[in-house]
Amino acid sequence: MLLMRNKARALFIAFLAAGLAVQPVSAQFSDSYNFLKAVDERDGNEAAKYLDEPGSVIVNTKRDGTGETALHIVVARRDETWLSYLLQKGANPNLADRKGVTPLMLATQLGFVEGAARLIKNKASVDGTNRSGETPLIRAVQLRNPEMVRLLLKSGANPDKRDAVAGLSAREYAAQDGRNSAILAIIERGGQADEPKKSGELDFSGIAEPK
């Protein structure tokens, strides 16, 4: 009787092994894994298989280990085409990875202004913070990126929101940095362009003072 049971168990295990062997490799991984792999590889047809399923929320799935979403992946490679596609499919621009970094914060760190603008247009929070309490505007000031600073300010970013480490705001960081006078001027103007010279005002900026 015991011998028969062992044989039956062995046959069952062999059957399972044979079944796994004939499955395609992709079928041995989760849908989330396969979807993010398709995004990694820019495989639009494969990604669409998961995105186009009725009621699918896979567009917001997170990668094991890092917590990255598909938006993080495409922002990291500065891919405007895929970024627009995923946002159209309902990707949430405010999901952070395990370090508390949102796609907008990542775009700011990379100087990816076009991507940041696209995320903001799709309701990314301009004052969202990472684990250090830094906002995208604070990071843009620290990186001395005037174009990103202008974009964030025009989109409603708060220049007086302080971080959790130094307790400083974007305005205060700019004021402390002697090389950031141009950034501070942008903040004081609320992100607007340089004030135009008044009609009839003389410009002596190119004339040297007499010695």
pLDDT of 127 above 50: yes
With H, G, I as helix, E, B as strand and everything else as coil, classify residue 73: helix
Of the candidates 95, 105, 109, 100, the residue with the CA atom closest to the CA atom of residue 59: 95
Q: What is the pLDDT of residue 86?
A: 98
**Whole-angstrom Cα distance, residue 183 to residue 145?**
8
Q: What is the CATH number of domain 126-193?
A: 1.25.40.20
pLDDT digits (tens, 9 = 90+) for 144-196: 999 999 999 999 999 999 999 999 999 999 999 988 899 999 999 987 765 54
Do 29-101 and 126-193 show the same overall fold? yes
Every domain of the chain and the residues it spans: 29-101, 126-193
Residues present in the chain in total: 211
Q: What pLDDT sits at residue 23?
A: 43
CA 160 to centroid of chain Cα atoms: 23
Q: What is the pLDDT of residue 195?
A: 54
Tokens of 12: 């069952």
Predicted confidence at residue 157, as pLDDT, reads: 98
Write out the two tokens for 147.
């174009």
Domain 29-101: CATH architecture, name and number where available: Alpha Horseshoe (1.25)
pTM of the model: 0.78
Percentage of residues in the chain having pLDDT higher than 90:
73
Handedness of CA 181, 182, 188, 190 (dihedral sign): negative
Give the tokens for residue 163: 């971080």
Written as six digits, the tokens of 210 are 């007499």
pLDDT digits (tens, 9 = 90+) for 19-43: 444 444 444 469 999 999 999 999 9
CA distances from 139 to 13, 64, 189, 203, 210 (A): 56, 26, 19, 35, 42
